[in-house]
């Protein structure tokens, strides 16, 4: 079960999560990443991201968590390596990226893209890939 953050713990946890994201990789095609942490526990993390047209996260993987990506607005691209797959998600569509799979998320569309990222079950990490 996910414990949603209370008003008292929200700011401290949100700031820590945002700092982790900045440390993990600022580069989103030269633009600042827009994120909103919805919930974070020791083994679940839920974040809403907004990407401008053409923005993308760097290639990376996670050693414990599975990424579940739900498109909320616009067009969201999810690409994986080994197996090489390409998803183009429209609002209401989703995909799953298994633990250890190198991947990146992008906005290949002409308008703002927004997605919900659910990461579970395990400790969050961000391992940049070449």
Q: Domain count of the chain? A: 1
CATH of the domain at 23: 2.60.120.10
Q: What is the pLDDT of residue 69?
A: 97
Would 112 be classed as within a structural domain? Answer: yes
Would 12 be classed as within a structural domain? Answer: yes
Would 108 be classed as within a structural domain? Answer: yes
Low-confidence ranges of the chain (pLDDT < 50): 1-32
Q: What is this structure's pTM?
A: 0.74
Would 45 be classed as within a structural domain? Answer: yes
Closest CA to 57 of 80, 79, 77, 27: 27
Would 109 be classed as within a structural domain? Answer: yes
- Exposed / middle / buried, residue 42 (Cβ in 10 Å: 0-12, 13-18, 19+): exposed
Q: What is the pLDDT of residue 22?
A: 37
pLDDT digits (tens, 9 = 90+) for 8-37: 333 344 344 444 443 333 344 333 458 899
Would 1 be classed as within a structural domain? Answer: no
Rg (CA), the chain: 14
Would 116 be classed as within a structural domain? Answer: yes
Range of the domain at 87: 7-128
Q: What is the pLDDT of residue 121?
A: 87
Would 56 be classed as within a structural domain? Answer: yes
Host H or E run for residue 15: helix 7-24
Report DSSP letters for 85-108, one per residue: EEEEE-TT-EEEE-TT--EEEE--
């Amino acid at each position: 079960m996910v414990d949603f953050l209370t008003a008292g713990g929200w700011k401290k946890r949100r700031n820590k999560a945002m700092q982790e994201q900045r440390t993990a990789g600022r580069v989103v095609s030269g633009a600042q990443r827009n994120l909103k942490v919805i919930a974070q526990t020791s083994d679940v993390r839920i974040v809403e991201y907004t990407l401008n047209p053409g923005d993308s996260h760097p290639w990376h993987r996670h050693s414990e968590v599975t990424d579940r990506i739900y498109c909320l607005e616009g067009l969201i691209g999810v690409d994986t390596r080994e197996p090489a797959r390409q998803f183009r998600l429209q609002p209401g569509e989703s995909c799953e990226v298994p633990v250890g799979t190198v991947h990146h998320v992008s906005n290949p569309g002409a308008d703002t893209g927004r997605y919900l990222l659910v990461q579970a079950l395990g400790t969050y990490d961000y391992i940049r890939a070449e």
